[in-house]
Amino acid sequence: MNIALLFEEDLISTDTAVLTDRRLRHLQQVRDIKLGDQISVGQVNGLLGEATITELAPDSAKLSISWSKQPPAPLPVTLIIALPRPKMVKRIIQTVTTMGVKQLYFINSYKVEKSFWQSPWLTEAKLLENVVLGLEQAMDTQLPTIHLRKRFKPFVEDELPEIAKDSLRLVAHPSNNQNCPIQVEQQTTLAIGPEGGFIPYEVEKLESCGFTPVSLGDRILRTETAVPVLLSKLF
Amino acid sequence: MNIALLFEEDLISTDTAVLTDRRLRHLQQVRDIKLGDQISVGQVNGLLGEATITELAPDSAKLSISWSKQPPAPLPVTLIIALPRPKMVKRIIQTVTTMGVKQLYFINSYKVEKSFWQSPWLTEAKLLENVVLGLEQAMDTQLPTIHLRKRFKPFVEDELPEIAKDSLRLVAHPSNNQNCPIQVEQQTTLAIGPEGGFIPYEVEKLESCGFTPVSLGDRILRTETAVPVLLSKLF
């Protein structure tokens, strides 16, 4: 937690907040904060700042905040990932949020097991929890939006053309395709398949929507590794 | 498991092997293999090949192997990482092995908790287990070497000059330093600090050994994300 992310309900005025819950426990247990200490904070979808602890009780801390700067720029990417197995979902959300992704679609694919869609990590509360952890790690304040799309074909046919409009469209697909381009510096829509990859039908559907298959070389990476690798090659 | 990695003790002749243990259970339970099926295999520090299952019992499978090609090229990097917390060690070993790192040093640093060195993931057996999982994911056969160095100063003063000789030397350090270079295509020694970073004394010691601090921008990444990001920018 490199910042404490503050929600509207934490603020009692524009520059005063009361901190409770997980964020306070972290500051007490990991950082051992004292009255008068300074901590870094951010307001959801707002500025970053420095806060002084002006009151401290076991279950709450009052902060006096000096808002100072904009959060880091987002990555110009919309990320589309075939829903990974539940234990990976949490990590991938945190990773992509930390790296600055603001639009994330989890979609279905032939090789996505149906049970994955029942994952407790996909509830609204759990999605938000992991997004917040990612923002706090990155010292970012801008909440990403996570979309869940349980049907591949309607998503690609009806929604994707508008989502990907005017962007560079890439689908990561291990094979003899061209290598992933480097530092493209343009709005990009990036699709990443499940473990085992998209099936040929799915790649064809994406190609007919303007996507170009790109490869990361001979090594087959897990989704959780492929995501940061692709994002750091592209941007 | 994209290949089954075979050790000398699995081979009963140059092109015949008997498979047991975790690898067989994976093939039975996840891949549902049958007599006559083909699977991809690799020999530790040797070639990749295709194997036909010529005998199949509940607790063993006999493979007839056609060795065909070299494993993918390693990354030209020696990676030096301040020992992360135990639950991250396993993932980082798998990730760097999958990406092609062949020399990995876990070192001490001021912000590494002493208890981390007691982690069960650092036993020789557990290190090998995770290295093998990384190689099987990447379809690679060349075992990396993992070195444990529990004292920072003797490592940097006595060993590092020889380890880093004739290489580009970079230390990832979040700050206003120059950005991490892109696609350097030369032998590189890359040092990555603990959560919270190397302390100034440690950065100075590395600088006096020829290391240049480089940054990944404003966002602070977890070690497990910083590692694939740095490797994919550099290579």
Whether ipTM exceeds 0.95: no
Mean pLDDT of chain A: 95
Does the beta carbon of B184 lie under 8 angstroms from any beta carbon of chain A? no
Which 3 state secondary structure label does DSSP give B143? coil
Q: Look at residue A175 in the predicted model and tell me its pLDDT.
A: 75
- Look at residues B123, B61, B55 and name the one whose alpha carbon lies nearest to residue B93: B123
Q: How confident is the model at residue A125 (pLDDT cuts 50, 70, 90)?
A: very high
Whether pLDDT at A54 is above 80: yes
Interface check for A14 against chain B (CB to CB < 8 A): the answer is no
The alpha carbons of chain A give a radius of gyration, in whole angstroms, of 20
Task: State residue A21 phi and psi, 5-degree precision.
Answer: 55, -150
Q: Do B99 and A229 touch (CB under 8 A)?
A: yes
- Each residue of A134-163: pLDDT tens digit? 999 999 999 999 999 999 999 999 999 999
Residues of chain B short of pLDDT 50, as ranges, are none
Q: Residue A228's pLDDT is what?
A: 97
Q: Is A141 on the interface with B (CB under 8 A)?
A: no
pLDDT (0 to 100) of residue A185 = 85
| The CATH number of domain A77-234, selected from 3.40.10.10, 3.40.190.10, 3.40.50.11400, 3.40.1280.10 | 3.40.1280.10
Decide if A193 contacts A202 (C-beta within 8 A). Answer: yes
Number of H helices, E strands in chain B: 7, 13
Cα–Cα distance measured from residue A63 to residue A39, given in angstroms and rounded to the nearest whole number: 9
Looking at the complex, does the CB of residue A2 fall below 8 Å from at least one CB of chain B? Answer: yes
pLDDT grade for A234, boundaries at 50, 70 and 90 = very high
Residues 65-124 of chain A whose Cβ lies under 8 A from any Cβ of chain B: 72, 95, 98-100
User: Within an 8 Å CB–CB cutoff, is residue B32 touching chain A?
Assistant: no
Which run of H or E residues covers position A64?
strand A60-69
Which backbone phi and psi does A116 adopt, to 5 degrees? Answer: -60, -30
Give me the pLDDT at residue B185, please: 85
Are the Cβ atoms of A219 and B100 closer than 8 angstroms?
A: yes
pLDDT at A196 (0 to 100)? 87
Please count the other Cβ atoms lying within 10 Å of the Cβ belonging to residue A128: 14
Nearest to B232 among A140, A222, A233 (CB): A233
CATH architecture of B4-69: Beta Barrel (2.40)
Q: What is the pLDDT of residue A69?
A: 95
Mutate to test the interface with A, among B185, B218, B223, B230 (most CBs of A within 10 A): B218
Q: Distance between CA B115 and CA B124 in Å, rounded?
A: 18
- pLDDT at position B175: 75
Is A141 in contact with A43 (CB distance < 8 Å)? Answer: yes
Q: Is the pLDDT of residue A176 over 80?
A: no
Is the separation of the CB atoms in B38 and B27 below 8 Å? no
Considering only CB atoms, B218 lies closest to which of A72, A218, A231, namely A72
**C-alpha span between B40 and B63 (Å, rounded):** 11
User: What integer pLDDT is reported at residue A177 of this predicted model?
Assistant: 75
- Among B220, B223, B233, the strongest candidate for a mutation testing the A interface, having the largest count of A CBs within 10 A, is B220
Chain B hits for A138, Cβ within 8 Å? 219-221
Query: What contacts B114, CB < 8 A, 6 or more positions away?
Result: none
Cβ–Cβ below 8 Å for A218 and B72: yes
- Which residue spans of chain A are classified as CATH 3.40.1280.10? 77-234
CA torsion, ordered B97, B99, B104, B109, to nearest 10 deg: -110
**Partner-chain contact B99 A221, CB within 8 Å:** yes
Q: Where in chain B is the domain with CATH 2.40.240.20?
A: 4-69
A126 has a chain B CB within 8 A of its CB:
no
